[in-house]
Amino acid sequence: MEPPLFPRESGQFIAERSRDVFVEEEGVQKVAEMLYSLRHSDDLTASGWKKANPLAPAPTSDQALNWVFVVDTMNFSFWPEEETQQCEVTYKGTTYTGYMTLCAAITRAMEEGIPITDPKYFSQMSVEKLAHVLRSDNKTPMPMLQERHQVLTEGGRVLLEHGGSFRSFISRAGNDAQKMVELIVEKIPSYRDEATYEKCSLFQGKRISFYKRAQILVADFWGIMEARGEEDIIDIDWLTMFADYRVPQVLVYFGALRYSGALMQALKNGELLSSGDRREVEIRGCSIWSVERIKDRLCKLVQEKDGQTCNINSAIIDFYLWPYAKQHHKEMAHIPIHHTRCVYY
């Protein structure tokens, strides 16, 4: 079978054929100029990782890497069926929703003495024990408990087969970001975020990939290594943005993406898009390509105005855009988020 296109190539391939989602160069330039003005900020460095992950253990701790593996393995599908019915987790006086409920729940479990970051434990934990770890403050549970249990125990077994920790597992790929992603996708099925379009002429039967969770796992590993001052990871620029449901919203908000009237109306009507739906694929693929265009424009600005080589990559741009979307969600409320219930994002 023909191997899938990697995420960057998938994004370009999709953007060049998309019917309902479009990369807008004027908006791309606008975002690039905004990021250029922030080019010396910590927000556009790998150290921004800790800012985006305030509930993670200290990067220097032994548990940090396994914490990242546990969280990223279950990092999908936090949106509520009804906005007024969100899963909530309170930790140290702060109540969290969305992705941060997972972070808070895992850190809360660690403080309660549950060895949730030990692969020997989470590879065989029961669904009831995971339900206790992920318990909500209210009557709305975290979605997809069975699926989270399946992928976590599966991931734990893989770690046990490769040295017993995420560090020992990922070391098999050396210090190469692309090889890390390929290793994760090869060994852990739930990270295999791919699609095939044999019956859709738009995609010419190509296999495409997004690898959202695999890429963010490598980026988080990189963030921890940077914070520790340990060895550099080569080819980190190979990573793209992490195609989810929050970053496309902020790209539309900035005008770097545009949805067709039909797609916008479908999303406003609350239509759920299945994983692999052409429109869902277009949103994710065009988001990747939009950020690639933003990165290229940003690097051109840095070269032209500063005479320097740009060291801001797509992962760092995502590290900036995702928290921005969370912080400015009220301003973006008029732009619908696409909803797809799956384990990939």
Active site positions, annotated: 244
Separation CA 174–CA 221 (nearest Å): 13
* R_g of the chain computed on alpha carbons: 19
The answer to whether 108 and 71 have CB atoms below 8 angstroms apart is no
Dist. CA 323–CA 164, nearest whole Å: 32
Kindly provide the residue ranges of all beta strands, DSSP E only, lying in the chain, ordered along the sequence. 21-23, 89-91, 94-96, 194-196, 207-209, 257-259
Burial string for 67-103 (b: 16+ CB within 10 Å, else e) reads bbbbbbbbbbbbbeeeeeebbbbebeeeebbbbbbbb
Q: Which tokens is 262 given?
A: 């039909």
- Give, for 148, the enclosing helix (H) or strand (E): helix 145-161
Q: 247-254 and 25-37 helices cross at what angle (nearest 10)?
A: 100
**Residue 274 neighbours by CB distance under 10 Å:** 10
Strand 89-91, strand 194-196: pairing: unpaired
Q: How far apart are CA 165 and CA 214, in angstroms?
A: 16
Calculate the dihedral angle through the C-alpha atoms of 162, 164, 169, 174, rounding to the nearest 10 degrees: -100
The size of the chain, in residues, is 345
* Listed residue (4, 8, 6, 5) closest to 288, CA to CA: 8
Cβ atoms of 96 and 104 within 8 Å: the answer is yes
